[in-house]
Amino acid sequence: MTSPLTDRRAEFVNYLHRLHYGLESDEAWRLAEARRDLARLRRYFSGPRQEAEAFAVVFAHDPPPREERVWVLLGALFAAHRYPYRMPPSGSWRPTLGASMRQLKNNRGDSVDRRFIQLVSVDEAALPYYLYQAVQLLRADRIPIDYRRLFDDLLRLFGGDDDMAQSARLAWSRDYNRP
C-alpha cells in the first residue's frame, strides 16, 4: 500500500509525462497547455525572476513544503529533457541517472567521465547546475531518463541526511561503472 505522499509524487511525474504526450496531441488546447507549462518549467534555469513561473506550475500539485525545491527542480529538468524512460513492471529494476550517463559514455566515449565525476562530487548548492548540464547532454543523444527514479534520488540528495545523499550518489556511480 502506498502513502498519500507517494501517490502525490507519482501523480506529479504522471503529469509531467502527460505534458510530454500533450506535445503530440491533435487537440489544440492540450498542445497549447503542454507548451505553456513546459516553457514555464524551463524558465526555472533562467534566473530568480523567471523561477516564479515554474513555481506556479509545480505548486498547483501541492508539494509538501520540505520537498518544494525538489519538485520544482524535477519539473525543470523534465522540461529541459522530455525523453522519459518507459516504466518497467512494478518491482523491476529502475535505471538511475548513472545508467543513463553510462549510455551517453557508450555513445561519446571517455570524455563523459569528467562530467559524471563532477556531477556526483559537487555540493548540494551546485548540484542543480550540474544536473541541468547532464540532462542537456542526455537530451542531445536522446537518451531517456527514469523520472520516477530521479525524483526518489533527488529527495535523498536534498533531504538533509548525508547518508541518504551518499547512497544516491553511490547508486549513480555503481550504475555508471557497471560493466
The conformation of residue 26, written as its DSSP 8-state character, comes to S
- Predicted TM-score (pTM) of the model is 0.90
Domain ranges in the chain are 1-80, 87-179
Q: How far apart are CA 5 and CA 50, in angstroms?
A: 28
Q: What is d(CA 106, CA 7) in angstroms, rounded to the nearest whole number?
A: 35
Considering only the top CATH level, what class is 87-179?
mainly alpha
- pLDDT tens track for 124-148: 999 999 999 999 999 999 999 999 9
Cα–Cα distance, 86 to 96 (Å, whole number): 13
Cell numbers representing residue 17 in the block: 509525462
Which residue's C-alpha cell is 500539485? Answer: 61
Task: Give the pLDDT of residue 23.
Answer: 85
pLDDT digits (tens, 9 = 90+) for 26-83: 899 889 999 999 999 999 988 877 788 899 999 999 999 999 999 999 999 999 997 7
- 3 has a pLDDT exceeding 80: no
Quick check: 100 pLDDT over 90?
A: yes
- Per-residue pLDDT, 9: 93
CB 121 within 8 A of CB 130: no
Question: What is the C-alpha to C-alpha distance for residues 103 and 161, in angstroms, rounded to an integer?
Answer: 29
pLDDT exceeding 70 applies to what percent of the chain? 93
- The cell 504522471 sits on which residue? 14
